[in-house]
Amino acid sequence: MRSPGSTFDLRAALSEEVRGALAEVENGGNGPEAVHACRVRLKRARSLARVGHTFAPGLSAVFNDSARGIMRALAEARNFAALEKTSRSLAKRSKRRAAQGLKAVSHALEAAREAAAPIDLEAVNAGLRDLLALAQVWPEASARQVKRGARRIVRRARKAWRQAGEHGAPADRRHAWRQREKDRLYAASLLDEVWPTRRRCGANARLVSLLGREHDLALLGRELEASPALARNAAEAALKAVKAERKQLTKRARRVAERLHAGRA
């Protein structure tokens, strides 16, 4: 029997996100836009599964592990596309020599993306159907359980911010922080009026965007350090531009995070 206070159907919401991911793969194949849209749907679903951790911890862990496996299969295509876009965008705002190097990098990444092995869409499709089966057996949640799960998402985001909010924090902590802020953003937007605190989706979305761009610049910097030939004769200037841009994004992310988490939001 449904709890009288329950206003959010977690099982239905999870199933909808997984069906959306399936539709993206079935309609768009392995194109960059379809891959990105599928990954976003999976991230939204994983955020909901983390809300459900408080009353179905075992199922939540299995769901997240299964979704992570599917996302790994899509990661290479996503990374090539994201880094190509990052290098091309930064080139437009950089000085001549750095711009030349970054344009060369974007062309090299585009070539690598086109030459990469195609995504095994059959395996991805099968994984998504298994994930949908997990979503459809999720236990019904009471309003209190959903709110407890939402508050857990908030606490995890705040803890990750405290551990990684300063410039120079280890890359794994910055990555974990970005993931936790994404969880908060997706969960708050999906739960809508059921969310137990101020949602602050605008500030949360800005922070996620800044942290995402910072992450892509970090990956791009590592690519340049490992393979300076990507930038031809301008690797040093290109890497300097990458580091300067990343530093600015880190400062902006810190300011937005302080506003977002003010008052224990």
In a domain, 1, yes or no: no
Nearest-angstrom CA–CA distance, 102 and 239:
9
Kindly report, residue by residue over 108-129, the tens digit of the pLDDT.
999 998 888 888 999 999 999 9
pLDDT at 255 over 50: yes
CA angle 153, 154, 156 (to 5 degrees): 65
Q: Which of 214, 217, 210 is nearest to 105 (CA)?
A: 217
In a domain, 56, yes or no: yes
DSSP state of 197: S
The domain spanning residue 67 has which CATH number? 1.40.20.10
182 lies in which domain range? 10-264
pLDDT at 81 over 80: yes
Q: Rounded mean pLDDT of the chain?
A: 92
Kindly report, residue by residue over 180-210, the tens digit of the pLDDT.
999 999 999 999 999 998 889 999 999 999 9
In a domain, 3, yes or no: no
What is the pLDDT, as a whole number, of residue 165? 64
Per the CB < 8 A criterion, the answer to whether 131 and 109 are in contact is: no
Bigger pLDDT: 168 vs 37: 37
In a domain, 40, yes or no: yes
Nearest-angstrom CA–CA distance, 213 and 35:
18
Residue 74: both structure tokens together: 């899509």
In a domain, 4, yes or no: no
**Looking at the 3D structure of the chain, how many domains does it have?**
1
- Coil, strand or helix at 104: helix
What is the pLDDT, as a whole number, of residue 168? 65
